[in-house]
Amino acid sequence: MPALQGTVPFQATSVAFSPFHEDKVAVSSAQHFGIVGNGLQCVMTLQPRGLVQAAAFKTQDAVYDCCWSEAHEGHLLSACGDGSIKLWDLGLRHNPWRAFTEHSKEVHGLTWNLVARETFASASWDGTIKLWNPLVPASLVTWGEHEGQVYDAKFTPHSATGLASAGGDRTVRLWDTRSARSSAALVGHSHEVLSVDWSKYSPYTLASASADRSILLWDTRRPNAVIAALRGHRYAVRRVKFSPFSPHQLFSASYDLCVGVWDVTPGRGGALRPDMRQLHTEFVTGLDCSLFAEGLVAAVAGTAQFRCGVRGSLGPRADD
């Protein structure tokens, strides 16, 4: 399919394909790059004539991330700059359906449990990660071992209790939601860790992306050793995402305006020159892969633009 492009009123911060509908994608955004001002959570539909807005929810502060429910096709979470988490119901006129307000600083990352679908987790600049049930107003668990901001958290698709987090203290931490303490700290980055993602095919393979411009691959059974270091981006790597269709393909989004496509075949990861696609004229801040169409990727940037297309149609190679 040709690349589809669209815009939102504010600077885009995150993008997420619906796990239920192949034509729905959520885009979060923040006014004035999230420094001050309002936020907007949009839902777009992919149509032959382009991307069409299906819903929009205003917030009093920036929206930094969004995440679809794995249990209800019409529920969507927003991570807000005022420390709140908004749960929207696309079928209701009066929104949000729920608001969770325990974090004391910006909420920067959200993840829904892919196995135990009655829970989700949030990562905040207040240094904590919280576990939630959407039907319960108070958090179920709070973890606070990172020293400084927590930028991201991701549940593994292979377990009901496995979680990884990315911290400003340059570490990735592994958690079991049944325990009050982290099970391991992965140390390898030289600057803040901004994003993590689990392989959909290997239960022990984890990727982390950092402001040090690198992506590290880990085997969580051996947390003291890095499997591979992927280098090629010129600035901070903001997002990292494993392909849902291939065990050997990894996508990245960077402040160098590019989306990278990496071959992470064992023994070859990082050895091949990555396929870099320049999509925007501003930092690429959000990235996601469709679960329905192989190679379909969405990326958003601080220009308030977002682009959705199959790998080769996303944009020109960065070196063209």
For residue 317, what is the DSSP state?
B
Give the angle 95-97-100 at the CA atoms, nearest 5°. Answer: 110
pTM reported for the whole predicted model: 0.92
For the stretch 146-191, pLDDT in tens is: 999 999 999 999 999 999 999 999 999 999 999 999 999 999 999 9
Cα 231 to Cα 271: distance, rounded to the nearest angstrom: 9
For the stretch 216-266, pLDDT in tens is: 999 999 998 899 999 999 999 999 999 999 999 999 999 999 999 999 988
DSSP states of 157-224 as a string?
TT-SSEEEEEETTSEEEEEETTSSS-SEEEE--SS-EEEEEE-SS-TTEEEEEETTSEEEEEETTSTT
Distance of CA 198 to the CA centre of its chain: 11
Of 33, 47, 42, 35, nearest in space to 7 by CA: 42
CA dihedral sign, ordered 296, 31, 77, 180: positive
What residue type is 42 in one-letter code?
C
